[in-house]
Structure 1
Amino acid sequence: MILSVHLVELLVIVLFVAVEALLPAVLPETLPFGVRVPLTHAKHPAVTRAARRYFRRLALLAVILVAMDLATWRLPGTWAFAAEQAVVLLAGVACYLNYYTAHRQIRQVKEAEDWFAGATQVVAADTRPRRLPSLWWSAPSGIVFLAVLVAGIWRYPALPNRFPVHFAADGTPTQWADKSISSAFGILMPGLLVLALCLLVHVASRATRMDVDPEAPRSSLHLQTLQRRRWVLATWWSCAFVQVGLGLAALLLWGLLGPATGWPMWVIPLTIVTGVVAPWVVVLATTARRSTGSHAASAVPNVPSSGAGAPGSPRVVHRDDDRYWKGGALYFNRDDPAWMVPKRFGVGWTLNFAHPGAWLLLLAILLIASLPALWAYLSAR
């Protein structure tokens, strides 16, 4: 069983590296490694050189991180768990630094050679109303949550007056609680919060803006529309897997899966980890095959910007907005009314940290995330 826990941690690292390997292929040609460039410079030697070095470093990182994780298996149980968490954290930091190195290399060459010289920088927008993705996509997550809730209501009268609520990695109970509605059903709180968060993402997907490329408006809108639908769908599939994992944990707590040893102790974390990451890997792999510039341009004809095709007219390009992205990842623009924008490197959305609404949302998320701990504290009193 301990080996199964180790394998889950190793899977997290492997999936982490796989996602990082797929991300560059998902980005628009005019946004290599989060750097805004004109379409005429998308294949610049500096871009291809940075990409080549990025993948070399990523391959080396994968070998080092897997070796470090395997080395932690020889440590005692508690130390092994702490060391593996440190390796996972290190994987996140290392992957970001690898991205930022490529980002910085391209940006330095762009600024030195002034790639935007002679071009007219504009901001393009899509003003057409967008249809919200179907809420039926949330049905699997909601059905699983409700099914577990019904099972808990049915089981509650038969629960002992005192039962374990936390287990060690080997299945040994480490914390007990007196029978009450809060102690029995508090384990459902994280699942409810995940549902609420996914619903927020679903609704916000309509309000966030489209990052229209004026050099290729039709193809960029087409690809972004497909991407957003895939992102929302992946969000709900991840939510469904998380609900299954948390539901199994609730059934284990209620004694409906037998003793807390054997398969539940590794199936539960494996389901949650795989469910959170796997749908996004599928989305990235699918998008990577379709988001190359030549394919996009051939799939959807572009409508040239006004005057762009006339002889002697200025070349129209997307505004160089690199200065608003701190570290190539954090967006900070006081002049932008949007509080959520597409990520610079990755899938999904990020916050405009110069917008007050973004900080209010973060505060709300923190408050919501603290509800399970508050519930447990009040239950223990």
Structure 2
Amino acid sequence: MQQAAAWTLALSVLMVGLSVHLTARIWSERRLFFVDLGRALTDDDRSRAQRVLVVNGAVTALGVALSFLAPGSAAVAGFVSLVLVFVPIGYLLVETVRVARSVDRPKIAARFAVPLEDPPTLGRYLSPALNLAQGALLVGSTAVFLWLLPQLPAKVPMHFDGRGVVTRLGSPREMWLFPGLLAFDWALVLIIAFGVSRERWALAPKDPERYAALQLDRRTTIVRFVEVLLLAVNVGMVVTWLGLAFGSLPGKGHLVATVVVLSVVVMAIGTLAPLAYYLPKLTRLQERLREIAGSDALGTREAGWRAGGLFYYAPDDPALFVPKRIGIGQTLNMARPGAWIFLGGVILVPLVISLVAMWLA
């Protein structure tokens, strides 16, 4: 089990490192860390990106090495998972803020909010196949668990330490946490798609029809990225859930180590593959939109952008979901009560699901 714990930790470190690498990599000649520079990249910009990539690579290599050199050390596992992996993330965030604050970007053009005669409906953004897969995954895995539940012992492993040692046993009914989280992730996809569909339609005075078509492509791509990502996360959770259940059956304990590693592999591939595919595509769409409108954030208030464009706080803007000025996708207007309700729900609902699962036990 110690080797399984080592592989799990190493794969987790590698997943974080590759995610940072994909974010820090230069995808456009006018963007650094997804910040629109308003000009071509300079040698200094490239050097800044290279420093982040080198630090990230070194920290990732160190984390992977420590995972295997001290597989039985809880202290090392804690240091790697709670401290080391956040070093490149923090460095990237600091550099992104520095770039955002140092760039003198053109002001956002006047707002051209328009009521479309036939605006795309929520269903226009969603993939029927991916949503069917989410539903089948939830129903199918729940059916398998219901079949297994009467066969499970009174106590099953519920938590492992950094050495792979079981630190807590619990009732099998606590595993109802998993279908709750599966349903939450599926609901989150629908909520994000709803947010995308509700984003204000702002048209550029130059070539408005092409701009609208590109915006529709951008919004659909954002939703597809989230759909694929959360489906992969849910597949990983199902592997963990049913794998632990099967591994708790008499004579099947040897399956647990394999299941833990397999679930991390599934989640790693399911996270990195969509990032590698959709980030370049979304970057190209952002570039084409900027070429037409002169800004990624058309339809927002210039004064509402704070911290160089990281946050949007505009009390006089009724919009809740707005296009990001830094990064890819959408952000929230933090001046709207709905933004805090949304964030509170994302945090509190999984917590409530966990408490209900423990209460059922």
Secondary structure of the residue aligned to 1:99 is helix
User: Could you tell me how far apart the structure 2 residues matched to 1:63 and 1:176 are?
Assistant: 37
User: Could you tell me how far apart the structure 2 residues matched to 1:290 and 1:122 are?
Assistant: 21
In 1, are the aligned partners of 2:6 and 2:163 still within 8 Å (CA)? no
Q: What is the one-letter code of the residue matched to 1:95?
A: L
In 2, are the aligned partners of 1:13 and 1:65 still within 8 Å (CA)? no
Aligned length: 343
Q: Counterpart of 2:359?
A: 378
In 2, are the aligned partners of 1:152 and 1:251 still within 8 Å (CA)? yes
Q: Counterpart of 2:135?
A: 142
User: Could you tell me how far apart the structure 2 residues matched to 1:144 and 1:122 are?
Assistant: 46
Q: Counterpart of 1:105?
A: 102
Distance 1:318 1:3, change over 3 A: closer
Deviation at 1:126, TM superposition (A): 4.2
User: Could you tell me how far apart the structure 2 residues matched to 1:195 and 1:319 are?
Assistant: 29
Matched, 1:232 2:235: no
User: Could you tell me how far apart the structure 2 residues matched to 1:359 and 1:203 are?
Assistant: 17
Matched, 1:330 2:311: yes
User: Could you tell me how far apart the structure 2 residues matched to 1:59 and 1:72 are?
Assistant: 20
Q: Is the radius of gyration larger for structure 1 or structure 2?
A: 1
Name structure 2 gaps, 5 residues minimum: none
TM-score, structure 1 as length reference: 0.77
Deviation at 1:355, TM superposition (A): 0.7
Deviation at 1:322, TM superposition (A): 4.9
Q: Counterpart of 2:280?
A: 285
TM-score, structure 2 as length reference: 0.81
In 1, are the aligned partners of 2:158 and 2:168 still within 8 Å (CA)? yes
User: Could you tell me how far apart the structure 2 residues matched to 1:291 and 1:318 are?
Assistant: 11
Q: What is the one-letter code of the residue matched to 1:55?
A: A
Distance 1:238 1:23, change over 3 A: farther
User: Could you tell me how far apart the structure 1 residues matched to 2:148 and 2:23 are?
Assistant: 43
In 2, are the aligned partners of 1:152 and 1:185 still within 8 Å (CA)? no
Q: Select the residue among 336, 340, 346 that pairs with 1:359.
A: 340
Q: Select the residue among 334, 339, 342 that pairs with 2:323.
A: 342
Distance 1:62 1:279, change over 3 A: same
Secondary structure of the residue aligned to 1:334 is coil
Secondary structure of the residue aligned to 2:261 is helix
Distance 1:215 1:31, change over 3 A: farther
Q: Counterpart of 1:123?
A: 111
Deviation at 1:121, TM superposition (A): 4.4
Secondary structure of the residue aligned to 1:282 is helix
User: Could you tell me how far apart the structure 2 residues matched to 1:164 and 1:10 are?
Assistant: 24
Matched, 1:16 2:19: yes
Q: Counterpart of 1:5?
A: 8
Matched, 1:60 2:54: yes
Deviation at 1:337, TM superposition (A): 0.6
Distance 1:285 1:273, change over 3 A: same
User: Could you tell me how far apart the structure 1 residues matched to 2:358 and 2:198 are?
Assistant: 37
Q: Counterpart of 1:311?
A: none
Distance 1:93 1:145, change over 3 A: same
In 1, are the aligned partners of 2:25 and 2:53 still within 8 Å (CA)? no
Secondary structure of the residue aligned to 1:370 is helix
Deviation at 1:320, TM superposition (A): 8.9
Q: Counterpart of 2:241?
A: 250
In 2, are the aligned partners of 1:50 and 1:106 still within 8 Å (CA)? no
Secondary structure of the residue aligned to 1:255 is helix
Secondary structure of the residue aligned to 1:164 is strand
Q: Counterpart of 1:159?
A: 152
Q: 1:289-346: CA deviations, max 9, x gaps?
A: 56544x997xxxx6x99xxxxxxxxxxx968955422223111111111111122222
User: Could you tell me how far apart the structure 2 residues matched to 1:23 and 1:212 are?
Assistant: 28
User: Could you tell me how far apart the structure 1 residues matched to 2:181 and 2:20 are?
Assistant: 27
In 1, are the aligned partners of 2:74 and 2:161 still within 8 Å (CA)? no
RMSD: 3.4
In 1, are the aligned partners of 2:24 and 2:92 still within 8 Å (CA)? no
Secondary structure of the residue aligned to 1:346 is coil
Matched, 1:72 2:52: no
Q: Counterpart of 1:90?
A: 87
User: Could you tell me how far apart the structure 1 residues matched to 2:206 and 2:301 are?
Assistant: 15
In 2, are the aligned partners of 1:144 and 1:244 still within 8 Å (CA)? yes
In 2, are the aligned partners of 1:23 and 1:346 still within 8 Å (CA)? no
Q: Select the residue among 266, 272, 285 that pairs with 1:271.
A: 266
User: Could you tell me how far apart the structure 1 residues matched to 2:176 and 2:5 are?
Assistant: 28
User: Could you tell me how far apart the structure 2 residues matched to 1:199 and 1:92 are?
Assistant: 28
Q: Counterpart of 2:349?
A: 368
Q: What is the one-letter code of the residue matched to 2:268?
A: V
